[in-house]
Amino acid sequence: MSKMKGPAIFLAQFADEQAPFNSLDNISKWAGDLGYKGIQVSTGDNRFINLETAAESKDYCDEIIGICKNNGVEITELSTHLQGQLVACHPAYDTMFDAFAPNELRGNPSARQQWAVKELILAAKASKNLGLTAHATFSGALMWHTMYPWPQRPTGLVEAGFKELASRWLPILDAYEDAGVDLCYEIHPGEDLHDGITFERFLESTGNHNRCHILYDPSHFVLQQLDYLQFIDFYHDRIKMFHVKDAEFNPNGKSGVYGGYQNWADRPGRFRSLGDGQVNFSAIFSQLAKYNYEGWAVLEWECCFKHPEDGAAEGAPFIEKHIIRTTDKAFDDFAAGDVDESGIRHILGLE
């Protein structure tokens, strides 16, 4: 039977100019001292990893692995969330997403998109050099502005949107196939892949690509009011990554799922530190154990109230407590008896 790995922590929300959050050595030691066994590394921050060098140099990757090992952790996966967003970006969001690209590419959507594709392919090679088997990203969105069907969506718009999205991602997915790495899309509002149905449509558009997989994060399903436990039943064979993030949804007479353009603290749906929200993590960890999930359990801290360092300190023991070491025997094996075929037929009343 399998055993989930963890606890691990996603570094993106902790990167900072101040120590210990300003270098791979410092932040990996900080994470290790908190009890984490792994770190998920965002590739947009050269303080932690130079993506181009990692794609080209196995020696550089071995050096990074050594730094982490000395601090008691290992790299679980790399992340290209920001770059993935730019693989498919509707013009309505150009200004807001320009900040995800290098300064020299801002205001040039075509060049920005080409850069994003290159980054994803570099990340495939870097992941291979680091000995990783999964990678985290966003799908980007061409259709999100039509999420609510008013005005009515023209016939064929959704089909054309998924066809174009797949055409942009297929060369990238092929690069991950060549690298032997699963590309895991975080199912997330704001992305064209934001629930099970949209993932299915994209997967079909890619020809059920072997490397098209899911980063499972229940917090986004709480905010959408989607059954995050049944989601695992449907898609467990495609879930290769797991963000352990809490959330709550408290609708009222003034605001619901859409949030009324309010800030995070005032929205009915908001992210919380682990244990402070409504996610049933005991059920989730049990469900993933049922389907022999073998990946990492990675804390992603996003909370509108609690300090990030407190959330990180609480996260390691929280995840450790929930990881289930799956059993290799049945609880009632002590009462088992040896029965041959003749005995079985006798029990069934066939002899």
Domain containing residue 62: CATH number: 3.20.20.150
Distances (CA, A) of 113 to 89, 165, 205, 300, 310: 8, 12, 20, 26, 37
Distance CA 76, CA 267 (A): 32
- Overall average pLDDT of the 96-115 stretch: 96
Per-residue pLDDT tens for 261-306?
999 999 999 999 999 999 999 999 999 999 999 999 999 999 999 9
Q: What is the pLDDT of residue 284?
A: 98
| pLDDT above 90 for 94 | yes
- Nearest Cα neighbor of 161 from 144, 148, 184, 149 is 144
User: Which phi and psi (to 5°) does residue 175 adopt?
Assistant: -65, -35
Q: How confident is the model at residue 2 (pLDDT cuts 50, 70, 90)?
A: low
| pLDDT above 80 for 334 | no
- Nearest Cα neighbor of 37 from 275, 285, 274, 319 is 319
Structural domain of 233: 5-347
Q: What is the pLDDT of residue 336?
A: 76
Distance CA 256, CA 227 (A): 17
Q: Could you give the 3-state DSSP secondary structure of residue 19?
A: coil
Q: Could you give the 3-state DSSP secondary structure of residue 279?
A: coil
How far from chain centre, in Å, is Cα 258? 23
Per-residue pLDDT tens for 119-141?
999 999 999 999 999 999 999 99
Percentages helix, strand, coil for the chain (3-state, rounded to 5) are 45, 15, 40
Q: How confident is the model at residue 93 (pLDDT cuts 50, 70, 90)?
A: very high
Q: What is the pLDDT of residue 41?
A: 98
| Residue with token string 């790495």 | 181
Q: What is the pLDDT of residue 351?
A: 73
| More confident position, 344 or 201 | 201
CA dihedral sign of residues 258, 249, 280, 294: positive
Structural domain count of the chain: 1
Distances (CA, A) of 171 to 56, 78, 184, 212, 340: 19, 19, 15, 12, 55
Q: State the average pLDDT for the chain.
A: 96
| pLDDT above 60 for 200 | yes
